[in-house]
Amino acid sequence: MENPEHGTPGVYSAKGKAFERDSRYITTRIMAEPREGTDDYPVEPGRYRLIAAMACPWANRSIIVRELLGLEDVISLGKPGPTHDQDSWTFDLDEDGVDPVLRIPRLKDAYEKRFPGYPRGITVPAIVEIATGEVVTNDFAQITEDFFFQWREHHKPDAPNLWPDDLREEMETVMERVYTEVNNGVYRCGFAGSQEAYDEAYDRLWTAMDWLEERLGERRYLMGDAITEADVRLFTTLARFDAVYHGHFKCNRQKLSEMPNLWGYARDLFQTPGFGNNTDFEQIKAHYYVVHTDLNPLSIVPKGPDLENWHTPHGRG
């Protein structure tokens, strides 16, 4: 069935099947120079609202990139709560359960405003045009790429170069492996429909984790000495690893905190402005353990682990 419970459309695997993610998105772009003959929207400060739940790793990326680039006063941010019904992400954290700018209780309302009877999952992140209340896009990978390339005129003066030209080809390869084997790999473990599917997913995940551990023994960040988009994409999975994926998704060969290079790297990012301040472990745990009743029928949220260790010195300066 369609899965509205994560940051991107997905399909829960049936018994005996491997997990497969539905990667169909609303492909509308927001462009500095809209292309003729397309449904592109124009870049315009104050016109759009990013709807992104802190609990969701895919949405969390957009929150981090927005801050790294200094777009907080250009694109407003609405935050759905960590738990929701089968129908839509909802604004549980706002007064009266209504987004204060869009004046809607459910993100689904913005999807339906533009696409009546929208057939797929109601996912975050999503960008909504404030004046019309219509969703523009939910293509999570394209959103952060466009924040960098299309909104450049509005970046803060010291914004990091998240897409360095000389590294782009290699970075695309790294990001593809991170996405397929790690970001999505933990879900393949968690929602495997058979022992065989789980075993294969587990082995693929840990092959990739070992590759990352080795790579990060030779450089501070994934692409070298500076933070790039690749680091943002990996971080949101690592931030959830010990708190959720290790136990809830059965990714339990090791804890992240038992892998020296990955653990130091994750803490290095966490302690960088834009990363740790946009990581909410309580919302993360509430989302996975409460919403995934097929994996956790009683919706009991574990009290542990102790996550204060994220603030310890990382030693990667």
CA distance 296 to 98: 28
Task: Work out the burial of residue 96: count CB atoms within 10 Å of its CB; fewer than 13 is exposed, 13-18 middle, 19 or more buried.
Answer: exposed
DSSP per position, 241-299: IIIIITTTT---SS-GGGSHHHHHHHHHHHTSTTTGGG--HHHHHHHHHHH-TTTSTT-
Enumerate the known binding-site residues for glutathione. Answer: 89
Catalytic annotation present for 187? yes
265 catalytic residue (yes or no): no
Q: In whole angstroms, what is the distance from residue 154 CA to residue 151 CA?
A: 6
Distance, CA of 294 to CA of 94 (rounded, Å) = 28
Strand bridging mode 30-31 / 41-42: parallel
- Residue (of 243, 254, 269) closest to 210 by Cα position: 254
Q: Which of 25, 41, 48, 56 is catalytic?
A: 56
Task: Summarize the annotated binding site as residue ranges.
Answer: 89
Catalytic residue among 111, 187, 198, 202: 187
* Residues marked as catalytic: 56, 187
